[in-house]
């Protein structure tokens, strides 16, 4: 399941703050600030989707993420690979390395990450 752009913007703040009250969440959002009713509606939709939970403190709710940012990002990347690269990580990697504007240094850093992951998997 995915989030709309507005929901992702709110989710990003929740991930950054880990736990956040509505007022603090709205304060953290960029200008122009959305109305509190809009944010409440978005939070309710995000709860229904299973992304956000909350704890009640008197008349206030403190919101927290139920889905880790890395898990959300990973599902999107996997969907991208599945939908645009015939479910081939190698095709995705080839596209990423050749058709993006990565510097030599960035490519070398990626190679180190990949080499490290290969070593880790061989040791399992």
pLDDT at 93: 83
**Would you write out the chain's pLDDT as a tens digit for each of its 124 residues?**
789 999 999 999 999 999 999 999 999 998 999 999 999 999 999 999 999 999 999 999 999 999 999 999 988 888 888 888 888 888 888 887 888 888 889 888 988 988 888 888 888 8
SS (H, E, C) 14-73: HHHHCEEEHHHHHHHCCCCCCCHHHHHHHHHHHHHCCCEEEEEECCEEEEEECCCHHHHH
pTM of the model: 0.75
């Amino acid at each position: 399941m995915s989030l709309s752009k507005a929901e992702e913007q709110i989710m990003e703040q929740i991930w950054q703050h880990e736990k956040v009250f509505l007022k603090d969440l709205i304060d953290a959002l960029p200008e122009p600030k959305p109305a509190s009713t809009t944010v409440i509606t978005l939070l309710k939709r995000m709860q229904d989707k299973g992304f956000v939970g909350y704890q009640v403190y008197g008349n206030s709710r403190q919101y927290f993420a139920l889905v880790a940012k890395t898990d959300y990002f990973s599902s999107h990347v996997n969907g991208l690979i599945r939908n645009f690269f015939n479910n081939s990580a190698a095709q995705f990697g080839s596209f990423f390395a050749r058709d993006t504007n990565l510097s030599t240094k960035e490519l070398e850093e990626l190679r180190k990450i990949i080499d490290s992951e290969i070593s880790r998997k061989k040791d399992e």
